[in-house]
Amino acid sequence: MRQCLALEPDEVAPLQLEQPLPKPDLRPDRPAAEPGLGDPVLSLAQVGKTFADGTVALQDLSLEVRAGEFLSLLGPSGCGKSTALRLIAGLLTPSAGEIARPRLAERGEIGFVFQDATLMPWATAFDNVYLPLRLQGLRRRAAEAPVLAALARVGLAEFAGSYPRQLSGGMKMRVAIARALITEPRLLLLDEPFAALDEITRLKLNQDLLDLWQAQRFTVIFVTHSVYESVYLSSRIAVMAPRPGRIVAELPIPAAYPRSEEFRTSAPYNQLCRLTQAALRRALGDA
């Protein structure tokens, strides 16, 4: 059964750090959308995906995403997070249900960052970031300013001429993020982008991603299995359960942005992590 762990509407206002977190209220019929957000950019209605070998990766997955949200898909390995993201990106077709992408009609409106940076090893950071613009027919000279600006935004202004083998794991991921953002997509999909990185790099990239999101106001769907990462980043978390993959709970994260180390060490953050952890445990129990 899908639960929507919704807080009262007047409790969705930005939290003060000292304010105690209100108890969640389990209401399965409550719509997921939060007040104050933009128009829907994505809607999945009872989507299913069965692979050719008969694996039912997803069943009855319904989800609405609004412009400006930072939504995390949180769930254990094998629950269908990557499959859901690929369906959303149009890289896979659903076996059942409907996916609507209002306002995402044009090419380049969706950016995708994979778990490993998937850079072209024979191309420089510049050329890796330039690729989506090249595919759109933009000449190298015309692309120079936007590509260098995108590299600067992810802190790699000095590394335009470096090859992937000359970059650290975190730097490669920054190039992948710059490449995904170069077409100024409305929707950015990230599939466990920081899972392979050390803790310090991961925290830094979390912060930098939030800063980019706040500056450029794209919509994010972020796949993770980390409760702590999802609570720190998200305005909403959809908890998934396996066999078959589905969304079993939704939690708004009603803490104000910008978020900082102060939030990460605050009592409300800890409380939100506990709530999310409990929802995940229930999801596993349900499975």
Ligand X SMILES: Nc1ncnc2c1ncn2[C@@H]1O[C@H](COP(=O)(O)OP(=O)(O)OP(=O)(O)O)[C@@H](O)[C@H]1O
Write out the H or E segment, with its range, that includes residue 60: strand 56-66
206 binds Mg ion, rule: CB under 5 A: no
The CA-based angle 205-81-270, given to 5 degrees, is: 55
Residue of the chain from 2, 81, 186, 236 that contacts ligand X (CB under 6 A) = 81
Q: Nearest distance from residue 44's CB to ligand X, in Å?
A: 14
Task: Tell whether residue 72 is a contact of ligand X (CB under 6 A).
Answer: no
The C-alpha atoms of residue 185 and residue 173 are separated, in whole angstroms, by: 18
Q: State the minimum distance, in angstroms, from the CB of residue 12 to ligand X.
A: 28
Q: Which stretch binds ligand X (CB under 6 A): 16-24, 73-81, 96-104, 274-282?
A: 73-81
Q: Using CB under 6 A, which of 79, 87, 150, 175 touches ligand X?
A: 79
Q: How far is the CB of 3 from ligand X (least distance, A)?
A: 20
Pairwise CA distance, residues 229 & 192, whole Å: 10
Interface pattern 55-84 for Mg ion (x via CB under 5 A) = ---------------------------x--
Return the residues of window 40-69 that contact ligand X according to CB under 6 A.
51, 53, 55, 57
d(CA 30, CA 11) in angstroms, rounded, equals 15
Q: Which is nearer to ligand X, 18 or 53 (CB)?
A: 53
State which residue, 72 or 82, has the beta carbon closest to ligand X.
82
Stretch that binds ligand X, among 70-78, 154-162, 258-266, 271-279 (CB under 6 A): 70-78
Q: What share of the chain is helix, strand, coil (3-state, %, to 5)?
A: 35, 25, 40
List the one residue from 59, 72, 83, 276 that touches ligand X (CB under 6 A).
83
Least Å from the CB of residue 140 to ligand X:
35
> Cα angle vertex 147, ends 214, 125, to 5°?
105
* Minimum CB distance to ligand X smaller for 83 or for 266: 83
Token reading at 36: 């104050």
78 contributes a contact to ligand X by CB under 6 A: yes
Q: Which of residues 189-228 bind ligand X (CB under 6 A)?
A: 225
Nearest to 190 by CA among 47, 41, 74: 74
Within 8 A by CB and 6+ apart from 235, the residues are 34, 69, 70, 71, 252, 253, 257
Give the separation between CA 138 and CA 121, rounded to whole angstroms.
Answer: 22
Q: Tokens representing 33?
A: 């959308």
For binding to ligand X (CB under 6 A), which residues are involved? 51, 53, 55, 57, 75, 77-83, 225, 245
For binding to Mg ion (CB under 5 A), which residues are involved? 82
